[in-house]
Structure 1
């Protein structure tokens, strides 16, 4: 599987030689910006400036306290990153329980999931068209804390058997709770290192494809629209290997709405998944509705009809 390499840092790490990281093959860097309702990372501005100067794909993360106010925490993060976030910037919610549980205390799984959705919605509203995902553990996913369809960055440390990029790249992509994380953080010392399940070029496209300078993209008629439609409606029940391939790609990019499948027949979950993908690509309103447009179909990398 094609991958790219990255790191993440916070104030706990000292100054970084970002040019050296790039020479070592690092493509992306995610940097802590904030925590809770008021805390800011003291090295964020320095780290993000260095990573940008090195030409890396960059993003920031916010450490979550789900027993505080979601809107206040989102506002703290938004204020911390606003002057740095632009085309190709990726936003992450770091959803992990402190060992003593103090940031989850008093909250049910359902309440945490609602909190996550509210934080993500606020950040998406503040940065239209930019990627917003969740960094979280197997236990959080198993508990149902993360809404479906969000990009995932997943930490799991096999130990000495996987402590280099080369070793991580030989491993199969993790599938916690049946989800397909786009990023796997495989080691946490002496520096947090992750692999992304996209090539460097595809990662840049994924990170930047939804950001536009002149508003959302306009509706594009798809050359194979008749294939996907029947009497002006989604051709539900139509069978084709194309739908299986499409569904697998939608799962891979974090837009799968499937409980079972995807399968060879077009279903409502396929339509919902593809519309989520079109929204991720920056389309809104009627332009984000089914059927596929040629730009989003090409970006999804499914063979043409």
Structure 2
């Protein structure tokens, strides 16, 4: 899967050499604009002007207090972002609970979701044709605080300090079934993220030219290897786990595989039996080993499944 690199900053970071960041491979950068009903980030103007001046995909975020007035908070953010929010600008609600819970205190999950939806609606109305998403945790997603279909920027730090290459080699996080558009994988030495699009795709998405991220690519070779080797052997090829997971999701969507009855990312026996059902449904025959419907994917059956369920088959 294609990815590109980015960072985010606030008043805690000194002014950056954004042109050097871009030369070193950075594609996007977001800066904190505001918090709560009245607070503004002291370095927002400095950061965002530098980001835009370097030609990066630019965006801003607002740290939310769901126990305050969502309209006042949206107005605070809109006023801060408006001077910079041209075509291709991204807007993010930073929805995260303070460690002492002070910004969530007194609100139920349902009330927080209503608050989030109100903030998002107001910002979308203020900036039509610009992208508006939510930066939020696994706990918030699990609690149902975010409306379905919202672009997600997801923070999870499995390693502490980490290079971009480490995140790019890892499996895409899937918190509570969500597929984040962006993964913030470390805060050291600064907040680093990868987006699950190429740089060109992210620019097109930010400009409103594509409604969804690019279709995921599934390697036929990786899936066939997974289907014909034991799980212990598959660990030698961990990059195939995402490919298998896409196939499993497609089989679930087609009613061939029961959710919870298989090991995600492993082409196990339930997955193989489900794939055989898919092959039979496509008109292939012969379920014995070596038959056209034996549960081992072929290029034709996998391509057909991908076309119906949103992935592209590659060699």
Task: Give 1:20 shift.
Answer: 1.1
**Matching of residues 240-279 of structure 1 within 5 Å:** 262-263=253-254
CA distance in 2, matches of 1:34, 1:301: 38
Assess, with a 3 A threshold, how the Cα gap between structure 1 residues 183 and 107 changes in structure 2: closer, same or farther. same
TM-score normalised by structure 2 residue count: 0.67
User: Whose Rg is larger?
Assistant: 2
Assess, with a 3 A threshold, how the Cα gap between structure 1 residues 38 and 261 changes in structure 2: closer, same or farther. farther
Aligned match of 2:182: 183
Residue by residue over 1:242-268, the C-alpha shift from the partner in whole angstroms, topping out at 9 and shown as x without a partner, is xxxxxxxxxx9xxxxx9x96448xxxx
**Matching of residues 196-211 of structure 1 within 5 Å:** 196-209=195-208
Give the count of matched residue pairs.
223
Residue by residue over 1:275-297, the C-alpha shift from the partner in whole angstroms, topping out at 9 and shown as x without a partner, is xxxxxxxxxxxxxxxxxxxxxxx
CA contact 2:135–2:152 (8 Å) conserved in 1 = yes
Residue by residue over 1:160-201, the C-alpha shift from the partner in whole angstroms, topping out at 9 and shown as x without a partner, is 4x7110000000110000000000000012210000000000
Assess, with a 3 A threshold, how the Cα gap between structure 1 residues 135 and 261 changes in structure 2: closer, same or farther. farther
**Matching of residues 1-305 of structure 1 within 5 Å:** 1-160=1-160, 163-209=162-208, 262-263=253-254
Task: Give 1:104 shift.
Answer: 0.2
CA RMSD, 1 decimal = 2.3
Task: Give 1:23 shift.
Answer: 1.2
Assess, with a 3 A threshold, how the Cα gap between structure 1 residues 301 and 65 changes in structure 2: closer, same or farther. same
Could you list the structure 1 runs, at least 4 aligned residues long, displaced by more than 2 angstroms after superposition: 260-264, 300-303
CA contact 2:186–2:192 (8 Å) conserved in 1 = yes
CA distance in 2, matches of 1:59, 1:15: 16
Task: Give 1:159 shift.
Answer: 1.4
CA contact 2:131–2:208 (8 Å) conserved in 1 = no
Residue by residue over 1:112-167, the C-alpha shift from the partner in whole angstroms, topping out at 9 and shown as x without a partner, is 0000000000000000011000000001111111110000000000114x711000
Work out which structure has the larger RCO, using CA pairs closer than 8 Å and 6 or more positions apart in sequence.
Answer: 1
CA distance in 1, matches of 2:53, 2:70: 32
